[in-house]
Structure 1
Amino acid sequence: MSASNTGIAALADMVAGARNMVVLTGAGISTESGIPDFRSPGGIWSKFTIIEHAEFMASQDARLEDWRRRFFMEDQLGKAAPNAGHEKITEWVKSGACSTLITQNIDGLHQQAGTPAEAIIEIHGNARHASCTKCGLRHEIAECREQLERTGKAPCCRQCGQIVKSDVVMFGEAMPVEETLAAFEAARSCDLFMAVGTSLAVHPAADLPAEAKQAGAGLVIINREETPLDRYADVVVHAGIGDVLGGL
């Protein structure tokens, strides 16, 4: 179903009838706030060497390259603001219509829009802060940048002196167990699962809609492009996220 009046009406009816909605968001909602899709041609992944987790932990040079990319990303994120899609999801969460927001995004725009942190599961982490890999102490990105610029070395923990890493899941790093389990539990317990702005090509997030559907939930997919799971959805809308959600 395309972004026709019929599709929007069916979407509105499903949202109105849901008792426990879960929303999954991907890069599509953030690109509408001006954040580039990092995987696309000309995106950040084509501008910098992608450092895997094992390299980061083993090499000072690898850590410096990764932090250079993180600071570039932080500058991009700092220019972005939540859009109508973020704001509608915040409205749903605060009203109780949406119990859980699962996001693949690392930009913090859902929190910036006012969605309570306790309602958000960030399965790929958050680029707006970092943590010590030894003691877990949180470090702000600005603090990490200041330390690198002052010393010429990758940031280390102000408490124990060990390696500090951005709170983003890196290539070669295990997915966060607690967040992943919580995401699947939320998918199994909802009566409406809405996938918004995600290609549904990156696992394990791509498995969540099927998990919800198999448990008996309705499935809505809103994305500009087709996804591998469109044929299983009750409603599919191919259109801009802000336009669709903002109009509900």
Structure 2
Amino acid sequence: MSATPAARRPLIAALTGAGISTDSGIPDYRGPNGLWRREPDAEKLVTYRYYVADEEIRRRAWVMRRDVGAAFAEPNPGHRALVELERAGVPLRVLTQNVDGLHQKAGLPDRKVFELHGTAQQVVCLGCGERGTMAAVLERVAAGEGDPPCRECGAVLKPATVMFGELLDPVVLDKAQAVAAACQVFLAIGSTLQVHPAAGLVDIAVAAGARLIVVNATETPYDHVAEEVIREPISASLPGLVRRILAGEFG
């Protein structure tokens, strides 16, 4: 079967969660072996009020980020499958709950990736707003700084991610909602679809008539409205799904 001509290809929105990055060595949070299940107290490390108030929480948070290794992780076949889709000329926008930057590292243009929860590739000063790279701060942690302060003003540094207790960037969220409302196919990949407002993007897409495909290891609250649910590992199943899209199976 020949690929669908680019002019007729539907707009694809892909909401990606932690499950797409587990094969890159980054643990998920709410899955059967997720970080929150193994160490419930770890949620404090990414909760804004605890992080700002407690130096020991910040020390533990920097160690966690050093050990998780998101700053040095590499894309896996799941990330690369979405790049293949985009490079084939399919209109694609990725709405990601992830902060690892692996979609861009795999080759997707920045303008096609909407990072709903910010990025762990950068840090931001809570005093002066100065930004820097996560890699540089983790080098300071490795050198013995437990809670590295901002080198410009001495205030607290935090990852440029949206912590629990913080609001999503309204500009990014508005753009993601517009994509969800306009797409013809909505892929929910590696997300439990339990965290709002990101999960609410599925509601917007379905209400607008999009075909929903869920690719996730465990059940989600939206499986019952999905046209298809895929339980196989993402690195193995997503390349096959992309081939089906390119063959025109979804319009």
TM-score normalized by the length of structure 2: 0.82
1:205 partner SS: coil
Shift of 1:59: 2.9
Report what 2:211 is aligned to.
Answer: 218
CA RMSD of aligned residues (A): 2.7
Report what 2:10 is aligned to.
Answer: 19
Instruction: Check conservation: 1:155, 1:164, Cα contact below 8 A.
Output: yes
For residues 12 and 198 of structure 2, the distance between their equivalents in structure 1, rounded to whole angstroms, comes to: 16
Shift of 1:83: 1.9
Q: Deviations over 1:24-77 (max 9, x none)?
A: 111221123332223346644445642321222233233222222222223x65
Report what 2:171 is aligned to.
Answer: 178
For residues 151 and 168 of structure 1, the distance between their equivalents in structure 2, rounded to whole angstroms, comes to: 23
Report what 1:4 is aligned to.
Answer: none
Report what 1:57 is aligned to.
Answer: 52
Percent of pairs with identical residues: 38
Where does 1:94-133 land on structure 2 (aligned, <5 Å)? 94-133=87-126
The one of 23, 29, 32 aligned to 1:38? 29
Shift of 1:234: 1.9
TM-score normalized by the length of structure 1: 0.82
The one of 189, 201, 226 aligned to 1:196? 189
For residues 22 and 144 of structure 2, the distance between their equivalents in structure 1, rounded to whole angstroms, comes to: 34
Report what 1:134 is aligned to.
Answer: 127
Structure 1 residues without counterparts, runs of 5 or longer: 1-8
Shift of 1:111: 1.4
Change (3 A) 1:62 1:238: closer
State how many pairs are aligned: 235
1:209 partner SS: helix
Instruction: Check conservation: 1:23, 1:98, Cα contact below 8 A.
Output: no
Change (3 A) 1:39 1:166: same
Change (3 A) 1:142 1:241: closer
Change (3 A) 1:39 1:19: closer
Change (3 A) 1:59 1:111: same
Shift of 1:213: 1.1
Instruction: Check conservation: 2:62, 2:146, Cα contact below 8 A.
Output: no
For residues 212 and 222 of structure 2, the distance between their equivalents in structure 1, rounded to whole angstroms, comes to: 10
